Structure 1
Amino acid sequence: MFERYLAKWRVTPAEKPRGMNVTHVTVTKILDFYIARRIDRECIDVKRPRSARPYIEMFFKGTPLNRIRLQACAAYIDARRAGQVRPARGRRSTFIGSDGSIRRELLILRTAARYALKHESICGSDMPLIEAPPEPPSRTVYLTKAEYKLAHETAEGELKDFIALAYYTGARRRAIENLTAGQVDFDGGHIHLQPDNASAKQRRSKKRKPITPIVRPLLPVLTRLTAGRLPNDRLLPKKDYYSPFNRHLKRLGLSAKGFPHILRHTRATHLLQAGASIYDVAKLLGDTTATVERVYGHHSSESLGKKLDEFEEG
C-alpha cells in the first residue's frame, strides 16, 4: 500500500525526447532548433550565431551530437586554425580562424545543446562533450588623441558626424545609426540611446543603451542634425557606416584600427587617462565596472611615462 502511494511521485524518463522525433540528434538539427527557437525570437545579435553555423556544419556534417567528444573538438580546432574548413557559401579570401572565433563557434554549439536539453528536446545521453580554446586576451586597440583628431577632421559629411556622435557618446555603431531626433533631449541635456518604441527583444539585450549627457563639443552637431526633423526621423542617413569608416582609416594608414567600435574603446580610454573614475566611465558606456577595468582600463605609454617621471622626480 505504501509503495503504491509513492509510485505516483516517482519520476520516470520519457521513452522519446520531445520536440525532435529522431533517433540520433545531429549537429544540423540541434542548430536549426536553437536558431529558430532562441536566436531568431529573442536575441538582438543574430549575426554571430549564423556566421558560426556554416563552419560547424561543414566539419561535423551529419555527426550525431553525442559522438562529439574532446578528440573531435581538438580536430575541429586544428582544422579551423589551418583554414581547412571552407563553407560552400563563404566569400572570405581566407578561412583561417582565430582562437576567439573558434571558441565562439564551439560554445554556440554547446549552448544550443544545453538549450535543447533544457526544453526536453533531447535526452542527457545526447549531450556532447565540448572543449573550446581558452578565452583570448581582450583587444585593447584605441586611437590616440592625435589619431582621433586626424580621423575626425579629415572626414566629410555624414561620416564626420558619425565619428563625433560615436566618440562623444561612447555608444555602439547600431545605436548611432538608428539615433532619432526624438531621443535627443536638449532641455535635460541628455541623449536617450534606448528609444521609447524599443521592442521587448531589444530591452532584454545585454548590450545596455544608457542615457548619456550632451557634452559641449557635441551640442552644435546635434543642433544642426535635429533642425527641421520630426521625432522619429534619423539623424544620419540610413546605411551601414562600418565600411565607410574602415575605408577612411585605411586612407590614413590606420587599417588595423578601421572598425567603428574602436571609437567606444577610444572614448573610454581617453576619459580614464584624463582621470575619470571607472564608475563614471561604466555609467557612460552602460557596462559594469569590472568590464570597464578589464577591457577599457588601459593607458597609453605616454601617460605611463609621465607618471613614472613624476614618481622619480618626487
Structure 2
Amino acid sequence: MKELIDNFLLYLSSQKRFSKYTVISYKNDLSSAAKYVLETYEIKDIRKISFFHIRSYIVDLMKNGMSAKSVNRKISSLRSFYKYLIKKSIVDKNPMLKVISPKIPRRLPDYVSKTDIAILFDSISLGNTYCEARNYIIMLLLYNTGMRKSELIGLTDESVDYAQKRIAVVGKGNKQRIIPITNDLLTKIRKYIQIRNQSFECRESFLLLTDKGKPMYPKLVYNVVNRVLVSMATSTKKSPHILRHTFATHMANNGAELNTIKELLGHASLAATQVYTHNSIEKLKDVYSRSHPKA
C-alpha cells in the first residue's frame, strides 16, 4: 500500500503541481488511514478495504477527539486518492462514494480588532537586524493581503510587481491570483530586501528566508506570528490564519463587496467567503448610534 501512496504523492507533486506542504498533508492523511486498517484489520491489500473499514476509521478519529474540520480533510485526501486509483484501474470499487462528511459547526472567525492591529503595528518595525525586518514584513504581508501561510512561504522577489503595485500569489491547486498592495508596503518590501541582501551573500530565490538564509517553513511563520500576537492581541487564537480572517473582516466591515473579498482570498466559491458577512461589535455599535432615535 505504501508504494501506491508514494506513486499518488508523486502524481500530486509532478502532474498536479501541488506544493510541498500540501503533498506532506496528503502523505500524513493517507499514511494514518493505511496504518489504521493494517493494525485494526490486518489489511495490506488496498482492494480489500471497504466502506465498512473507512467508516470505522472515521469513527475512531472522532472518538479520539479529532475536530470535524480535520476529519473532513482526511476524508478529502482519501477521496482524491481513490479517484486516482479508479483512474489507474488499480481498484474497481470506490468505498468513499458512500462516506458522508461530518458537519462542521459554523463559528464566526476570530480576528484582531482595528484598535489592536493599530497598536500591534505601532509596536514593531523593520528594526536593525534581518530577523526584525523579516518578521515585520511577514506581519505586514499577512494582514495587508490576506494570503495564506503557504502562499507567503512561496513568494519570490519576482512575485512583487513594483510598477503595477501588486503581488502575485500561487494558491491552492497551483492557481495564481493578483493582489494589489500599497505604496507604503512596496517601500517597506524594498527596504527589507536591502537588509536581507546585506545579511546573506549566497541566498535562495525566495523573498522570505530563515535566520540562516534558507527557505522559510510553516512552523517558523507560525512562531513569528504567534510571538507578536501573544504579546499584543486580545484574540484567543494566535496563528497566521487569524491575520487572514482579520484582513477579510476589516474589508467587509469597511464595505467591500463579498465577491471582491472572495477574489482577494482566493476562495473557490462564495460560500467560503460568506462567513465574513458577520458584523463586529464595533460596527454594530456604530450603526446603532447612527440609526436608533434614542441612541
**Secondary structure at the counterpart of residue 85 of structure 2:** helix
Are the structure 2 counterparts of residues 137 and 30 from structure 1 closer, same or farther at C-alpha, using a change threshold of 3 Å? farther
Q: Alpha-carbon deviation of 1:143?
A: 1.4
What is aligned with 1:263? Answer: 243
**Secondary structure at the counterpart of residue 273 of structure 2:** helix
Q: Alpha-carbon deviation of 1:213?
A: 1.9
Q: Alpha-carbon deviation of 1:242?
A: 1.6
How many residues matched?
265
**Secondary structure at the counterpart of residue 143 of structure 1:** coil
Q: What is the rounded CA distance, in whole Å, between the counterparts of 1:308 and 1:181 in structure 2? A: 46
- Alignment match of 1:68 (pick from 32, 50, 68): 50
**Secondary structure at the counterpart of residue 193 of structure 1:** strand
What is aligned with 1:236? Answer: 208
CA-atom RMSD in angstroms: 3.3
What is aligned with 2:83? Answer: 114
Q: What is the rounded CA distance, in whole Å, between the counterparts of 2:169 and 2:80 in structure 1? A: 30
Residue 142 of structure 2 corresponds to residue 160 of structure 1: no
**Secondary structure at the counterpart of residue 192 of structure 1:** strand
Is contact 1:102-1:132 (8 Å) kept? no
**Secondary structure at the counterpart of residue 313 of structure 1:** coil
- Structure 2: gaps spanning 5 or more residues: 126-131, 199-203, 211-215
Are the structure 2 counterparts of residues 37 and 235 from structure 1 closer, same or farther at C-alpha, using a change threshold of 3 Å? closer
What is aligned with 1:186? Answer: 162
**Secondary structure at the counterpart of residue 46 of structure 1:** helix
Is contact 2:262-2:269 (8 Å) kept? yes
Is contact 2:116-2:233 (8 Å) kept? no
**Secondary structure at the counterpart of residue 261 of structure 2:** helix
What is aligned with 1:31? Answer: 5
Are the structure 2 counterparts of residues 312 and 254 from structure 1 closer, same or farther at C-alpha, using a change threshold of 3 Å? closer
Q: What is the rounded CA distance, in whole Å, between the counterparts of 1:212 and 1:46 in structure 2? A: 25
Q: Alpha-carbon deviation of 1:28?
A: 5.2
Q: Alpha-carbon deviation of 1:274?
A: 0.7
TM-score by length of 1: 0.70
Q: Alpha-carbon deviation of 1:41?
A: 4.4
What is aligned with 1:283? Answer: 263
Deviates more, 1:283-292 or 1:271-280: 283-292
Is contact 1:269-1:296 (8 Å) kept? yes
Q: What is the rounded CA distance, in whole Å, between the counterparts of 1:113 and 1:183 in structure 2? A: 35
Q: Alpha-carbon deviation of 1:255?
A: 7.5
Matches of residues 194-209 of structure 1 in structure 2 within 5 Å?
205-206=172-173, 208-209=175-176
Which has the higher Rg, Structure 1 or Structure 2? 1
What is aligned with 1:250? Answer: 230
**Secondary structure at the counterpart of residue 179 of structure 2:** strand
Is contact 1:31-1:109 (8 Å) kept? no
- Structure 1: gaps spanning 5 or more residues: 1-26, 84-95, 195-201
- Alignment match of 1:144 (pick from 94, 108, 113): 113
What is aligned with 2:128? Answer: none
Deviations 1:209-229 (A, max 9, x none): 322222144143123124486
Q: Alpha-carbon deviation of 1:49?
A: 1.0
What is aligned with 1:272? Answer: 252
Residue 221 of structure 2 corresponds to residue 221 of structure 1: no
Are the structure 2 counterparts of residues 256 and 208 from structure 1 closer, same or farther at C-alpha, using a change threshold of 3 Å? farther
AA at the equivalent of 2:50:
I
AA at the equivalent of 2:153:
E
Q: What is the rounded CA distance, in whole Å, between the counterparts of 1:233 and 1:308 in structure 2? A: 51
**Secondary structure at the counterpart of residue 136 of structure 2:** helix
Q: What is the rounded CA distance, in whole Å, between the counterparts of 1:242 and 1:283 in structure 2? A: 24
Instruction: Determine what percentage of the aligned residue pairs are the same residue.
Output: 23
**Higher helix content, 1 or 2:** 2
Residue 46 of structure 2 corresponds to residue 79 of structure 1: no
